[in-house]
Structure 1
Amino acid sequence: MRNFSLLAVLCLLTAALYAQSPAATTRFTLQGRAVDTASAPLPSATVMLLSAKDSAMINFTRANENGAFSFKNLKAGSYILKISFVEYIPYNQSIKSTGEPVMDLGLLKMKPITRELMEVVVRTAKAPLTIKGDTIEYNASSFKVPPGSTVEDLLRKLPGVQIDQDGNIRAQGQEVKKVTVDGKSFFGDDPKLATKNLQAEAITKVQVFNDKTEQAKMTGVDDGKKEKTVNLQLKDEFKKGGFGKVTAGAGPASNNVSTRFEGKGSYNKFDSKQQFSALLLGNNTNQQGISFNDYQDFRGSNSFNWNDNADFGFSGSNRFLYFGDDNESLTIPISGGNGRGFTKNAAGGLNYNYDTKKTKLSTSYYFNQTRLDLDALRENKSYLPGSTNLRKTDTSSQANLTTNHRVSFRLEKQLDSMQTLLIISNSRFGINSSNLQSQQRVFQSVANSSEIPTTYSQSTNNSSANQFAMANTLLYRLKFKKKGRNFGASATFQINKNDGDLLLKARNEFFQATSVNDMLRVLNQDQGTASISNQYKANLLYVEPFAKKFFWETFYNFNLRYDEVDRDVSNLDDSRRQIDSLSLYYKNNYLFNRLGSSVRYSYKGLNISVGVAGQQFQLDGKFARDQSQPLQPIKRTFTTVIPNFSLNYDLKNNRYLNASYDVGVQIPSSRDLQPVTSNSNPLAITRGNPNLLPQLGHNLSAYFSYFNPGSFINFWSNIYTTYFVNQIIYSQIVDPKTLITTTMPENLTGGKNLGSYIGFGFPLKKTKATLNLNTQLNFGHNLTRINEVLNETNNQNYSFGVRLELTPKEWITFYGNANIGITNTKYSINTAQNQTIYNNSVRGDLNLKLPGGFYLNTTMNYNEYKNEKLNFNQQIPLLSSSIYRIVGKAKKAEVRLSGFDLLNRNVVVSQYAGQNYTSTERIQSLARYFMLSFTYNMRGVQAKMRRDYY
């Protein structure tokens, strides 16, 4: 903790010293007024001060309502003053300090752009940025990045834009939801795909703005919601040819692997109508690289890209219907992403977009294969009534092979000025295999007594699975001549098929129990599961304007889902005799109907919606231990009334207010409803509950944001709370003899959480230094039943963060951030185990341009995990560095020497406090290695640059 605090203080001290650097011997103030030819003020004009030497931006501001502006504390020297205003020719003037403390330029008259003046080329320095309303446009050439940099590196340089270590983007204090290239989607909806794979040298302008939601665009009714969007404009020469990057590298043996290698290539070709992109990678350095992490179960969750919402309803976050995860899990749910374990990765993708006024086509294919070797040590401490504690240790070794193919297709056809038709199809085919070997030990203690070993288990799981999923949607939109009147209809078919097999071998020893069923001591089972889920959906939406500021919205949702699962568990030591207690065959039909209506008021930035919906779930299920046996019915009907309220208020001057209330409904999953027992972990048994009710979550939230485009000060905050009725929780029964834990879902009311997030960012010195502060609070009240005793767990989570961005000179950049995370956990059934968890981190990224054309990049990441109650304290410093040089006459190639984890300390550590337990995890992962790599940048076919008219 001492090292962490020292690094955090140094980070803040650097900021303070930089902000308070000694002034030059001579400083002056520059001021003036932007007016038109009639001397009328031009309020909010963008005013920039550039270096006379290289046109680099020194400072910027916006004129006040009288057109007045000023720059204070300027060093003596020569500058270029540039003023821009919509529909006016930019004003440019050379400035040289005179030695006077105040230099007043007086009235600076700007001429309007006329048709004749449009033909005049203004030969002057381009504006580094232009502010038009809530849109900020950056001139990419004014922000220097090293050769071969990606768009992500360019965005880090832009005032008001932040990129975290995972590549997530925030602009003007808000998360960026979408990145487009020349106004078109790039490889789906993941912003990081564009920023990580496009080259900075291909970009001429970066535009940041608030875009309307797709539903608002479709209906013509402003719902008040905004999505922060970044658009990248390509240079002309990159629009008419191909460009891309190829990287190949290798390094000496490390971590028992003979050679480290990595290869990655991307190719892009664009024109005014078409986009083609290709990506390919392979490595054994734990770099999965391209998005689609974990390849989530399809079920339509990725079928509505580009915000194509075919499930019409309230525009709140809980308008969708959630069914839960019903597929039987045949492997331990551990992925190889985020640097866990040791992985070999191969991936590739093709993307094609065709975009015209009436036709928009997007299609892509993506392949991914990951081989994972993972050794883990986990410790779980459970707290039972009567001051009884259980400590479980799990030492496991796992080898996985996962292969996925993904195909997407989207066609949007504008039939005429009023009608639009969309066809959307997404599919995935995956093959998975896994081998897991585990050793588990259970120790019991009462109060402060010493631990007693009670159980030892050694198991081997070999599993394989084939998965296929597809979602197809047809969406029709109709706009009437009357403004605001709209009709929408959609139909969707989804299929999810999963066939898997698990071979389970386990040997269990019970040291304290004298009489135990022999079936619990030795397990040798074949668990086969075949499942299929078909879903049919239909939706209708009608919007009718009435009065001048009101809209009436009515929607209907129909959903029919059919599930069939055949689970056959047999004992391999007994001539493959079926084990009835673990086998199950069931069929389920879910029928869902919802009818809702709301009234929306929209006027001058104020948008209020109030509505109500009635919805009904019908479950018609049948189950038996085997298909040959008579099926037993499970029939349930759930009817719920759902209120909805939302308020969105554009307060002008880049201030936004949002508040909402809605009710989220989660129906129990098929797996939770079926009375089936699963023993894939012999010491942790799970069982379904056919008496479950739907879970209701009453959600209330409020959000406020502010951004000053002149000073680049931003502030945002939100507060949210949820109260659960019939919350689906997982209660536990611990066998007093064997200490085997059986978990079964049930409904409990009273769970709740309350949270808030506050962020504040401001430039210490414009274009040179920026400081961002944030804090996050969350208070949770969770319920669960342990051995028939109700346990109440209260979590108090506190997080504090600071981020410093320094770009004082073209040859140096520094990004530093520090975060402190504290979790206080209190248990009602065992107060002696109340504890505090600390998760702290400090990170610094330094980039230097060295003499001789060399560049140096160094990253230091220090993480601390601490829990005094469990005597858990681990610090992990990660130091990585690389030095590279651009070579060749055309400056297209790069040679780089990199060292990862130079201190050889890398290990993945996590700790967590749950409803009646705490857990820690340590996973061996890729540590110190070195690599020499070569990169070649392909540039587009040269084309004549168009002239820029002002």
Structure 2
Amino acid sequence: MKKILLLFFLCLQIGLVQAQTGGRFTLKGVVTDTSGATLPEATVMLLLPKDSSLVNFGRTNKEGAFELKNLKRAQYIFKVSYVGFVPYQETVNPKDGDVTDLGRMKMKVLQQELYEIVIKTARAPLSIRGDTVEFDARAFKVPPGSTVEDLLRKLPGMQVDADGNIKAQGEEVKRVTVDGKRFFGDDPKMATKNLPAEAINKVQVFNGKTEQSKVTGVDDGKREKTVNLELKDSHKKGGFGKAIAGVGTDKRLEGKVSYNRFNDKQQFALLGFGNNTNQSGIARNDYQDFKGSQSFNWGDDGDFGFNSGRYYGGDEITIQPNWGGGGSEGFTKNFAGGANYNYDDKKTKLSTSYFYNQTKAIMDVESRTENFLTNDSYSSIANSKTIGFTGNHRPSLRFEKNIDSLNTIILISNSRINSGDDSFNSFQQSFLNEGNATNQSTVRNVSEYSSFAMANLLIYRHKFMKKGRNFAASVGYNINNGDENKNLRSDNVFFQDSTRNSIINQLNETESTRGNFKGSLSYIEPFAKKFFWETFYNYSMRKDKVDRDVFNVSGTEREVNPFLTRFYSNDFTYNRIGTSVRYSNKGFNVAAGLAGVQFELRGKFAADKAAADFMRVSKSYFTFVPNVSINYDLKNNRYIYAEYGLNVREPSITDLQPIIDNSNPLFITEGNPDLIPSSSHSVYAGYNMFNPATFMNVYIGLSYNYNVNQIVYNRTVNVENLITTTKPINVSGGYSYGTYGGFGFPLKKTKATMNLNASVNLNNNITYINNVENETNTNSYNFGTRLDLTPSDAFTFYGNANWGFSNSEYSINTNQNQKIFNATYGADVNAKGPRDIYFNARFNYRIYKNDQFGFDQKLPILNLSVYKIILKSKKGEIRLTANDVFKKNLGITQNVNQNYYTERKVATLSRYFMLSFTYNMRGVTASVKRNNF
């Protein structure tokens, strides 16, 4: 199968090269203004007369000249666009010979009175202004009912992977806005997956400045790849949306409805869906929203100053489900709905949304783990089943008010209300000495939980009359509270020492509260023209309380377990004061700074909050953190960047408590009051290049991290009964090094694109196994290629191939060194048939191999669909889909870490058939469907 796919890719590329020769011609000319002065970097385009679709494009050189090579002999519309000039257009009929010379084309200056007429009648499919590339959506044909995600795949230089992640010009897209406004917060996929392509007028791709740069007016040299979706005027008048309903075999159901109503100042959107086909509609990091980084606020987090030594909130104490959340694994039922509202005028910006999602998941997992000791190893097998439910309410608000030209206030509030329950059943056995069972454990746990988290932030910014002088202040308060009731039941058998046999029947009631007050100040002063001096101060005070009551249960009686019952409170105070100097001139930006960071940790704990005597933890730390960054805009869409910093993190209060937790008799944990903060030296650098004339992109990068006083968990394993005891300790050493690169280029503009990528990651981890230092070196090598073919509106092909090699070596048990090979091959074929009938086939072939443990798994996954456009104005679609035709879908993961290797298999939704109907409020235009793969 692998050889066939590789041969197929090769034949396609050879065919493309051959197709570019024979009977072709070159079109050239010079673009000038009416006085004869040449116009460099003007955008030139060739269009087909029948539908104005884009065939080829380029830019003029410094002398205003251009050449478009290897053109098929046919009639074309030739267009030129240039900022400030009336677009030029003429019909081209190729002359005899290899070259057709259009001579000198003179462009007229765009007068204000002609502006509206020109904008509406002389639009170009593609225009390039500096680092902004703008696409006219009408020139890129997509199928009826397509989403914005399908449209983006059609655009030169754009990629969308199977998970909906977007890359533009080789870089990850960080933001997607609609008419310049947020859409359901900061998740780019909410817009690309739920807005219809037929609503889009233009797609603009550019390197946006960071929030900090925009509000201060001081360029920090950093850029964020941004996509803005400009709506059609017709879709700013009245509403638009669609509804989908489907029914399938094996009782599969799906439904989805969306409605949007936008105008120049306001946006309103509704979204709802439900299914039992594993489509959760939420990101995998939804449970990370409130860890303190506030990354979802697009940089306006109120923590001023450079990144080194920043405080990110400490340990997560919110009660979470333990089954992982909705994804492609297991079997899930999902329901979600929400609303988004934006208001925007010159002085006031309001962005608010509410989203609710719930998931019920069933996870059947088989796992096998090989644990490596100093001169030996033991294995564990486990079978588990989890049935879990979770529901999340997530309201958000962002309000920005320009009081006047110098003063701005910003109010941000994000919340999450979570509740759920889960039951967990498992059977685990451990083996030593040629497969002899040493212990086994049968677990039956049931829990209910709820949590409330809210992050509030108020920012005030003041610009002085002197350009570049700025003052900013912020104050925030975060809440993170949780409650959980868990019934723990387990039967634990030790075959070598029956005195350790135990039956655990416990009730664990945990209540946790957290309040975090923070504030920040920043003052920026320009001096010596191109230099800026910033002084900043960050403060955070966090108060945690955790009250855990553990009871031993016998029938209807329960008795307090004094060894596991615990109450603790923790007061953590953080101060950071620093300064930095920045030089910024003509795209060159360099900054250097130094900050002093102080941690104060005051904790107390006892068996009960009413106890007379508390054990106490009192720690104070101080350190200096440096930061150096360089960003250089080399012009013509070329960028170099590099940064060095030192990151410091305090130990958690739970790791500091000298308490032994033996609630799991097979895995015992112990705290360490002697821990000190860990730190990491981090360096990264990279280069990005994008040629808007050829749409070729190149990117390379590297990163390096070195750990000092890293907190690792010392593992002590009793070789007789395989009981593991862990204790956190500080260890210096351990590093990670990574380098990556990519190269994308069109084989034929607008028809075929090739992307190549590669990465190398070298990791060194240090831990202690039975008090013997173990170094694990894991080297990973990954290679990938992607081929996009769009020869016509009637046929498209998308293919990819990725290979991954991983080599792990252990210092204490070298005979367990291992190599892992993973590969994925994918193909997506779309075809348009007669009478508005469309076909799609998606094939994914996954390979997993580990010769050390005899693991060899091959999974061919094939999905097929056929659909027809129906009803007046093509408002309807009826679709038949066959999912996982070969019935081979299975969730598989392999993991190598420290002193163990784990392979994991999850029973996952497999073959089913679905018949669905879609109704579009406005109707659509037809072409070819582009699906995920």
TM-score after normalising by structure 2: 0.97
2:397 maps to 1:405 = no
- The 3 A distance-change label for structure 1 pair 304 and 372 is closer
Paired residue for 1:235, among 214, 232, 237?
A: 232
Contact 2:319 2:449 in 1 (8 A): no
Tell me what 2:554 maps to.
Answer: 573
Deviation track 1:191-226 (CA, whole Å, cap 9, x = no partner) reads 111000000000111111111100001111000001
- Cα distance in 2 between the residues matched to 1:127 and 1:496: 51
Contact 2:284 2:327 in 1 (8 A): no
Deviation track 1:521-570 (CA, whole Å, cap 9, x = no partner) reads 11111111111111110110000001100000010011100011111112
Deviation track 1:441-461 (CA, whole Å, cap 9, x = no partner) reads 00013xxxx222101111101
Contact 1:193 1:290 in 2 (8 A): no
Contact 1:624 1:631 in 2 (8 A): yes
Contact 2:874 2:923 in 1 (8 A): no
- Code of the residue aligned with 2:729 in structure 1: it is E
Tell me what 2:800 maps to.
Answer: 817
**Aligned pairs (5 A) from 1:73-472:** 73-118=70-115, 126-253=123-250, 259-291=251-283, 293-296=285-288, 298-302=290-294, 305-314=297-306, 316=307, 318=308, 320-327=310-317, 333-386=322-375, 388-445=376-433, 450-472=434-456
- The 3 A distance-change label for structure 1 pair 119 and 527 is closer
Tell me what 1:638 maps to.
Answer: 621
2:498 maps to 1:506 = no
Tell me what 2:689 maps to.
Answer: 706
- Cα distance in 1 between the residues matched to 2:661 and 2:7: 51
Q: SS at the partner of 1:43?
A: coil
- Code of the residue aligned with 2:25 in structure 1: it is F
Which deviates more from structure 2 when the two are superposed, residues 799-808 or residues 106-115?
106-115
Paired residue for 2:869, among 869, 872, 886?
A: 886
- The 3 A distance-change label for structure 1 pair 260 and 681 is farther
- The 3 A distance-change label for structure 1 pair 6 and 748 is farther
- Cα distance in 1 between the residues matched to 2:896 and 2:283: 29
Contact 2:293 2:312 in 1 (8 A): no
| Aligned alpha-carbon RMSD (Å) | 1.7
- The 3 A distance-change label for structure 1 pair 137 and 222 is same
- The 3 A distance-change label for structure 1 pair 893 and 330 is closer
- Cα distance in 2 between the residues matched to 1:926 and 1:414: 51
Contact 1:156 1:162 in 2 (8 A): yes
- Cα distance in 2 between the residues matched to 1:390 and 1:344: 38
- Cα distance in 2 between the residues matched to 1:40 and 1:866: 63
Q: SS at the partner of 1:196?
A: helix
2:587 maps to 1:598 = no
- Code of the residue aligned with 2:865 in structure 1: it is S
- Cα distance in 2 between the residues matched to 1:647 and 1:121: 42
- Cα distance in 1 between the residues matched to 2:507 and 2:416: 27
Deviation at 1:71, TM superposition (A): 1.6
Deviation at 1:925, TM superposition (A): 0.6
Tell me what 2:726 maps to.
Answer: 743
- Cα distance in 1 between the residues matched to 2:323 and 2:87: 57
- The 3 A distance-change label for structure 1 pair 363 and 678 is farther
- The 3 A distance-change label for structure 1 pair 809 and 125 is farther
Deviation at 1:57, TM superposition (A): 1.3
Deviation at 1:338, TM superposition (A): 2.3
- Cα distance in 1 between the residues matched to 2:408 and 2:177: 22
Deviation at 1:424, TM superposition (A): 1.1
Q: SS at the partner of 2:149?
A: helix
- Cα distance in 2 between the residues matched to 1:294 and 1:106: 58
Tell me what 2:754 maps to.
Answer: 771
Paired residue for 2:536, among 543, 555, 562?
A: 555
- The 3 A distance-change label for structure 1 pair 508 and 291 is closer
Contact 1:299 1:471 in 2 (8 A): no
Tell me what 1:497 maps to.
Answer: 481
- The 3 A distance-change label for structure 1 pair 123 and 661 is closer
**Aligned pairs (5 A) from 1:755-766:** 755-766=738-749
- Code of the residue aligned with 1:615 in structure 2: it is V
| Structure 1, unpaired ranges of 5+ | 254-258, 942-950
Deviation at 1:330, TM superposition (A): 7.2
- The 3 A distance-change label for structure 1 pair 567 and 8 is farther
- Code of the residue aligned with 1:664 in structure 2: it is N
- Cα distance in 2 between the residues matched to 1:168 and 1:834: 35
Contact 1:273 1:354 in 2 (8 A): yes
- The 3 A distance-change label for structure 1 pair 462 and 117 is closer
**Aligned pairs (5 A) from 1:837-856:** 837-856=820-839
Tell me what 1:947 maps to.
Answer: none
Deviation at 1:677, TM superposition (A): 3.9
- Cα distance in 2 between the residues matched to 1:925 and 1:939: 37
Tell me what 1:876 maps to.
Answer: 859
Contact 2:317 2:480 in 1 (8 A): no
- Cα distance in 2 between the residues matched to 1:498 and 1:14: 56
- Code of the residue aligned with 2:346 in structure 1: it is K
Q: SS at the partner of 2:852?
A: coil
Contact 1:35 1:110 in 2 (8 A): yes
- Code of the residue aligned with 2:782 in structure 1: it is S
Q: SS at the partner of 1:738?
A: coil
Deviation track 1:476-528 (CA, whole Å, cap 9, x = no partner) reads 00000000000000111111111111111111111122542xxx511111111
- The 3 A distance-change label for structure 1 pair 936 and 57 is same
Q: SS at the partner of 2:722?
A: coil
**Aligned pairs (5 A) from 1:777-816:** 777-816=760-799
TM-score after normalising by structure 1: 0.95
| Structure 2, unpaired ranges of 5+ | 925-933
Tell me what 2:928 maps to.
Answer: none
- Code of the residue aligned with 1:60 in structure 2: it is F
Tell me what 1:945 maps to.
Answer: none
- Cα distance in 1 between the residues matched to 2:883 and 2:28: 50
Deviation at 1:98, TM superposition (A): 2.3
Deviation at 1:685, TM superposition (A): 2.4
Tell me what 2:511 maps to.
Answer: 530
Contact 2:291 2:312 in 1 (8 A): no
Identity of aligned residues (%): 52
Contact 1:860 1:880 in 2 (8 A): yes
Which deviates more from structure 2 when the two are superposed, residues 119-128 or residues 8-17?
119-128
- Code of the residue aligned with 1:327 in structure 2: it is I
Q: SS at the partner of 1:184?
A: coil
- Cα distance in 2 between the residues matched to 1:123 and 1:675: 73
Contact 1:294 1:335 in 2 (8 A): no
Contact 1:4 1:840 in 2 (8 A): no
Deviation track 1:614-652 (CA, whole Å, cap 9, x = no partner) reads 010001111112224310111001111000000000001
Number of positions where the alignment pairs a residue of Structure 1 with one of Structure 2: 922
- Code of the residue aligned with 2:273 in structure 1: it is L
Contact 2:774 2:810 in 1 (8 A): yes
Contact 1:461 1:502 in 2 (8 A): yes
